[in-house]
Chains A and B, each alone.
Chain A
Amino acid sequence: MSFYVRRILFYVITLWAAVSLNFLLPRLLPGDPAAIMLGKLRRANGGRPLSEETIRGITSMLGAEKGMTLWDQYIAYWGRILQGDLGVSSTRYPAPVLELIGAALPWTVMLVGVATVLSFVLGIAAGAWVGWKRGTWVDHLVPATTFLQSIPYFWLALVLVAVLSVQMGVLPIIGGYDVFDFPGGPEWSWAFFSSTIVHAILPALTIVISSVGGWLLGMRNMMVQTMSEDYVVTAEAKGLTPSRIRTRYAARNAVIPSLAGFGIALGFVVAGSIVTEQVFSYPGIGKLMIQSVQGLDYSLMQGVFLVITLTVLAANFLMELIYGFIDPRVRHRG
């Protein structure tokens, strides 16, 4: 039980640190993001003065509130966050930040989720096989995976677009669905669903290709180490079939570190998908982040960062719970 208490405590502290970082960054660095943001909002509002409520919202999120100590600002900031009030976007005035994020999040979660699981399964299966075939010609293929890993996500996306979309015209270049077929936006129909699938193929392919190498390599190395463990030799000596040794004895134990690394790798995949979404103009959270950064929409930027962090933390936490269940040793090591 203390394992779970410790982990929950860790994630609570991490969450607190992320929120505090979000609070401190605009205040500690020189410059005045709140003033920039208010100026942008005033312009977006057609030059009319902003409501008292909006101004207070912006200043408590981004700082520069007159006559308040840093501590009071911090309390007010937490108050806003806990009410789910992340302010108003200036690039998409007057949409609330939370609403924009809510609309974008499902796109990214589906795309990144499906692509990551796919890449994990493929990489682990291939890694187990390559590790099993250690000492044969397959070993020479292993260094090639480093090339896959070193490819910048977005560059791969550019090349795929150039070949598959521009040259051959097989797959659509941009967007999450066909905006001409569905001018009214997302709807619940089979036609819309298939449109999203077609549009997701290239981004997903990009993510899978550039992340599969890491899983393969990690699994292969663990597999090689596991295969020289005594219990594998014992299994061989008992005369068990090779396929049984491979799956039930070696792969099953070799996969554990990969599972542990899954959560951390997710952070990298999310980062990669941000840039990938930019290439494909995919309507997900990454594109929202980029829009906000380019348009100096600090409220939206902070909100998106918070939500991305929250999502990655939640995924990590879930993975650790599963990990603790699979490998009882981590529960007891503390």
Chain B
Amino acid sequence: MADNTSPEVPVRTGPTPTSTLAAIRIAKTDRTRRPLPRISGKLLTGIIIVVVISLFGILAPFFVQDPRFSGNDALLPPGDGHILGTTKLGYDVFAQLAWGTRGSLFVGVVAGGLALLLAILFGVLAGYFGGVLDEVLTLITNIMLVIPGLPLVMVIAAYVQHTEGLGAFARSSLLVAIVLGITGWAGSAVVLRATAKSLRMRDYVAAARVAGEKPLRVIFVEILPNLVPLLAAQLIFGVIFAILGEAGLSYLGLGPTGSITLGTMLNDAQTGQAVGSQAWWWFVPPGALIALLGTGLSLINFAIDEVVNPKLRLAPQAARNQRKARRAGRSVSENGAIA
């Protein structure tokens, strides 16, 4: 036995420092709790895209032409004076894009926020209290989940927008945002319920309850802070969902005709035969911007997902280490130790 172990020692000392370092690094990222997700390439790209587009939506409208100024020549291709050309009515596409981005972001944030609130109400309360309340709330959530969203939104919008007495509100982006928020919370509620249910069993939550804390305090102080990454992810989902929903709704002519959004731009392009007249500068930018914004937000969600679910991050990392180790010609047992 002693003869066998002694020759192995010098062999192991070679690779061990690096592999233990790697193991420590992985263990560290796993155990130390960071307030913010690790700045990965994905996260950075996502943040840059979202920040740039948000700034564009917030600031650009102050510097561009009036988006409803129709004195320009119609259907000018991109060029001098009009970076992205003009529409059939002579509107400057770039100006429309700036205001449209602002409009779409507004709808996205309001609807996403509303959906998140409802998801917390239905998901966290159901998961925390359990029992009959859980049964009822989960039933409502599941019903909302399986009823197809867009047709429901279309029906509600059709009724609401043609009721007298609402005035300008009937065609405002706020109303569209509210309708999208009310119909888009169920998916998040399911996720939040599951997590709240498991958090409820943790010792510190049980301790708070035994100490006689009121349920609302336990939820807000003990449970919600632990849900923050999840809440952020759900909010982002909600925003993407709402921006895409608004675009679809507007494209069908059910959107906020009172304001400009990326969706109403696409609707104008469709009614103005932009595709038939090959005016690509009219319908490509709004859709591309939506897709880009959605991508940016999804990338941020990706990073959050890897924090919430370490397996997604650690498993590829482990596989990568294993491959590196194999290339370095190390034995299998040590690779196993790394992974």
Contact = CB atoms under 8 A, between A and B. Distances in A.
Interface of A: 10, 13-14, 17-18, 21-22, 25-26, 29-31, 33, 36, 134-136, 139, 143, 146-147, 149-156, 158-159, 161-162, 166-167, 221, 224-225, 227-228, 263-264, 267-268, 270-272, 274-275, 278-279, 289-290, 293-294, 296, 298, 301-302, 304-305, 308-309, 312-313, 316
B58 to A, nearest CB: 21
Interface string B319-331: 1101100000000
B284 interface: yes
A162 B280 CA distance: 8
B270 interface: yes
Given A151-B291, A296-B158, A308-B148, A225 B315 contact: yes
Given A155-B266, A263-B146, A267-B146, A150 B294 contact: yes
Contacts of A308: 148, 151
Interface of B: 42, 45, 139, 142-143, 145-152, 154-160, 162-166, 187, 240, 244, 247-248, 251-254, 266, 269-270, 275-276, 278, 280, 283-284, 286-287, 290-295, 297-299, 302, 305, 309, 311-312, 314-320, 322-323
A270 B148 contact: yes
Contact of A150 (B152, B298, B311): B298
Task: Name the residue in B146, B278, B309, B316 with the highest tally of chain A Cβ atoms < 10 Å from its Cβ.
Answer: B146
B298 A149 contact: yes
Contacts of B146: 14, 263-264, 267, 312-313, 316
Contact of A149 (B42, B294, B311, B312): B294
8 contacts: A29-B160, A31-B162, A31-B163, A135-B320, A151-B294, A155-B287, A158-B287, A290-B154
Contact of A29 (B159, B294, B309): B159
Contacts of A31: 159, 162-165
Contacts of B287: 151-152, 155-156, 158-159
B278 A166 contact: yes
B294 to A, nearest CB: 2
Nearest to A154: B251
A150 B160 contact: no
A135 B317 contact: yes
A309 B148 contact: yes
Nearest to B324: A135
A159 B279 CA distance: 11
A139 B313 CA distance: 11
Given A134-B319, A151-B290, A271-B150, 16 more contacts: A14-B146, A30-B165, A30-B166, A135-B320, A146-B294, A146-B299, A156-B287, A166-B275, A225-B315, A228-B311, A268-B148, A270-B151, A290-B154, A296-B158, A304-B151, A316-B146
Contacts of B305: 221
B149 A268 contact: yes
Contacts of B284: 159
A329 B214 CA distance: 36
Contacts of B315: 134-135, 224-225, 227-228
A147 B42 CA distance: 13
A301 B142 CA distance: 24
Contacts of B187: 264
Contacts of A289: 151, 154
A218 to B, nearest CB: 11
Give the most central of A13, A271, A274, A308: most B CB within 10 Å: A271
Given A134-B319, A150-B244, A162-B278, A36 B302 contact: no
Contacts of A134: 315-316, 319
A167 B278 contact: yes
A305 B248 contact: no
Contacts of B295: 143, 146-147, 150
A135 B323 contact: yes
Nearest to A22: B155
Contacts of B252: 274-275, 278, 290, 293-294
Contacts of A305: 151-152, 154-155
Given A135-B319, A293-B252, A312 B290 contact: no
